[in-house]
Copies of this chain bind each other. A is one copy, B any other.
Amino acid sequence: MAKKAKIGVLGASGYTGSECVRLLLRHPQVEIALLTADRRAGQEMREVFPQFSPFGLPKLVPIDSIDWAACGLDLIFAALPHGTTQKVIKDLVAKSPTIKVVDLSADFRLADTAAYARWYGHEHLAPELQRDAVYGLTEVHRDRIKQARLVANPGCYTTCSELPLIPLIDAKAIDLDEIVVDAKSGMTGAGRAAKEAMLFSEVSEGFHAYGVGHHRHMAELDQEFSNAAGRPVVVSFTPHLVPMNRGILSTIYVRSEKSSPEDLHALLSKAYAQEPFVHVLPYGRLPQTRHVRGSNMTFIGLAKDRIAGRAIIGSALDNLTKGASGQAVQNMNVLLGLPEATGVDQVALFP
């Protein structure tokens, strides 16, 4: 076997970081060579995530302690909070000519740095890198990812909405001004930061919408849908929180004057027929999040509405896997020239 690639995970004490570690531990062609976590620096990974107790893993170190030029890494996953990654990656790129980067934050997702500044409230700190960053929705941008050094891994909500909608928009099969995306996410999407609103007792046994009218993932949706359409597209998007750990379900309401629901379904089936991680269910069936839990799969279904000209689409994925770290490893495989499903082909854990 070829020499294993040496991989680092920045931000290993968060949920997307630990999900990268879960997947990389069983990836036959990589070696976890570096784990960082500023606040937990000096600790063993098992103290932060006891599920890793049986495994040998590098001790957590602070990012500042890394000598990028000498560390010998082939690729890093940046699983840092939004807004902190641009500076870190700029520094890394300046010091190392070779380390590839899959960034799981939102810092490099928006090609338009003015849009970034508008949605995130501060100037982009590495606009020169942004130019070369590739948006990492693997199934859509695979060819560009192959050539990239810096991949901006998409958001969980956006992956879940873009996979079913981009082929339909691309084919001009649906009305672009009548798209409603009602999205529901498990709690891990909110991360591991201690916030009152995310306490078990606050969120169990209940359901609610949030970020109504102004969720940041809208900026990504706008970018990708507009690119696909060749003209500006703005969808109605409302996220909700479900009392479960993992999973996103997007229920998407579309209208089409010229394509029947059966046509739309056929179009999606054809678009993803060869994709290992996107599965289109039989016509009329909608997916459940539990059936993709822990896997890198996206399940997509489409049914006709009782109102003529309308269809209802369901799209389900695990927000930590295909919605974050699973797609990140998928992108790593593309970047390293490995078979795309290597180490990320876990079967869903249900029940």
Chain B residues positioned under 8 Å from A240 (CB to CB): 184, 249, 251
Which of A186, A193, A249, A349 has most B Cβ within 10 Å?
Answer: A349
**Which stretch of A76-84, A98-106, A223-231, A281-289 is in the interface?**
A281-289
Q: Indicate if the CB atoms of A204 and B200 lie closer than 8 Å.
A: yes
Number of A residues contacting the other chain (C-beta, 8 Å)?
Answer: 88
Chain B residues positioned under 8 Å from A1 (CB to CB): none
Report which of B192, B238, B244, B345 forms a contact with A205, defined as CB distance below 8 A.
B244
Within the complex, the shortest CB–CB distance from A161 to chain B, in Å, comes to 14
C-alpha gap A214/B288 in the complex (Å): 18
What sequence of 0s and 1s flags, for each residue 202-245 of chain A, a beta carbon within 8 Å of any chain B beta carbon? 11111111101110001000000000000000101010101111
Q: How many copies does the complex hold?
A: 4
Which of A284, A291, A316, A347 has most B Cβ within 10 Å?
Answer: A347
Q: Which residue numbers of A lie inside 8 Å of B, CB to CB?
A: 15, 18, 22, 25-26, 49-55, 178, 180, 182, 184, 186-188, 190, 192-196, 198-210, 212-214, 218, 234, 236, 238, 240, 242-247, 249, 251, 253, 276, 279, 281, 284, 286-295, 297, 299, 303-307, 310, 312, 314, 316, 320, 345-351
